[in-house]
Structure 1
């Protein structure tokens, strides 16, 4: 009998309405085709990978597509589909609700509906929406409401406003860049300082934020804004949470674990956009990492997520 312990905060859902919307517009996810998905296939993967619960979210390009007009309707349809899946399997799935940014009024309405009526576990936003980043002053009303609720916000990378490198899909390189760009934009524009009840999870180990955090803090204090100390920048950067999806490697784990605050590293798989083979590859690094204490390993696998999602406390399953 296998014990399923992990809480996977970076697992994707592919609602049929979203797949159709992308296909109608000839869109992909950053150059990657949209893979098959079903609740049964997801739970079979989770059983094999020791995952008790997956928090589901729609990946890039989110629900505001190239024409922009379908955002609120598509977000509502996506979220109601995710809520149905979660309600049918409450121990196995949770949901981050999609928000139709950059329409702040529509995003606020959808956040309230999803959190109050659909019992979403949090919300997902893309790192940028058509070139508009998360620290933009226009987004302040959304952060105010989510902070009032102490909500959990999952930041998933999107294609930055520049052309793809030839032969290099966005998830290979541009996504880690854009996650870092969004996090720095939120920090330097004061979002992480003003809204301290927010819990913000960065995908893929935060891009290269942990590796370059002291560079950002030092240059901000000495070159950009002399009225701000490096320590204050670091304090705000350390407020982020980080998932391990595609980031639990021998070169990235040392920086991530050295930088992140205790309890701020969470397990992530990125399935099905990252294959189960890729998940197993990074799980092996995570399991074999010699500097990871048993306590911190347990926190990454589920303890830290139980704090963010109290309804999942104790949902260790056996298969």
Structure 2
């Protein structure tokens, strides 16, 4: 039976001003256009035993060559999302978007979102127009987010490679890009250098848990790293279960993730609700949960990341 108290760390919204752009992006990626409004989101949450959804906007907010539009777009998305949360703080939380690659603008927007909008964390795409997150240019941002002990959802986006014809990019390329950016972050020492940041990798980290031992070989190409050290960096990440709670994926995820680092995620409305029921059932019916572990995944681990959602 589903835990009626789930906290969904991977739930999205589509502000009205961005609905057409999101539909066009989904079509270009070979994916169904998402439809979203507050009432349908709450109805979905009630059906799926989700107490609270942490909302984020999972797409670029402007064209890559328009930094002013990116600043305005991020502010518009974040202000809109904050109003949704303000109206229903019991049902929603907020991961704010940032206008990267402009690091100064991203720092200003992070301060606005965290200090004035009371955002619960931040959402950063897995690559910024082809630049991955271990790039030294992002160092000032990581330093500031570490000082704030911020929660960061690293949401996948399309990698800078041609898609495979006939295969939707969100289905196969997004998990691939999660792995690319996670390994880039780890090889550049970002998780260890900024240990107060809690980074969430959606979709069980793509295939990172399954292939972590293989990726650890990359450390042998770096003179200051070891396979054991690289695995330790990778295990600093948190992981959500969106589109990933299958009988082959769960054993690998639970074997690799550090205790307390697995969280519930729905990916609504990017994943249509009727496509998602099997993944919820996969969590509920997994036969190897230890006592209290499923509740920790559904709620308890998220309470530690977002203490305002904790219940006595």
- TM-score grouping bracket, smaller chain normalisation: over 0.9
2:298 maps to: 301
Structure-2 change in CA distance of 1:22 and 1:274 (3 Å): closer
After superposition, the C-alpha distances for 1:185-232 in whole angstroms (9 at most, x for unaligned) are 000011111101000000100001101111111x1233x124322111
- Asked if residue 62 in structure 1 is aligned to residue 60 in structure 2, the reply is yes
In structure 2, the CA distance between the partners of 1:3 and 1:293, relative to structure 1 (3 Å rule), is: closer
Structure 2 equivalent of residue 12 of structure 1 = 12
Greater CA drift, 81-90 or 278-287: 278-287
Q: Deviations over 1:63-94 (max 9, x none)?
A: 23355342110000000000000000001000
Q: Which residue of 2 aligns with 1:207?
A: 206
SS in 1 for 2:25: coil
Task: Give the equivalent residue in structure 2 for 1:159.
Answer: 158
Structure 1 gaps of 5+ residues are: none
Q: Which residue of 2 aligns with 1:227?
A: 224
- Alpha-carbon contact 1:17-1:74 (below 8 Å) kept: no
Find the partner of 2:269 among 269, 272, 278.
Answer: 272
* Correspondent of 1:244 among 211, 236, 241: 241
TM value normalised by structure 1:
0.93
Equivalent positions of 1:74-113 (< 5 A) are 74-113=73-112
**For residues 259 and 136 of structure 1, what CA distance do their matches in structure 2 show?**
26
Q: Is residue 18–residue 74 contact of structure 1 (8 Å, CA) maintained in 2?
A: no
Alpha-carbon spacing, 1:22–1:169, altered in 2? closer, same or farther (3 Å):
same
Q: Could you tell me how far apart the structure 1 residues matched to 2:231 and 2:13 are?
A: 34
Q: Which residue of 2 aligns with 1:185?
A: 184
- Size of the alignment, in residue pairs? 309
Q: Give the C-alpha shift of residue 22 in structure 1.
A: 4.6
Contact 2:187–2:219 (CA under 8 A) maintained in structure 1: no
Partner SS state of residue 26, structure 2: coil
Q: Kindly provide the CA deviation profile for residues 266-316 of structure 1, in whole angstroms up to 9, marking residues without a partner as x.
A: 00000111011222110111111111123110100000000000000118x
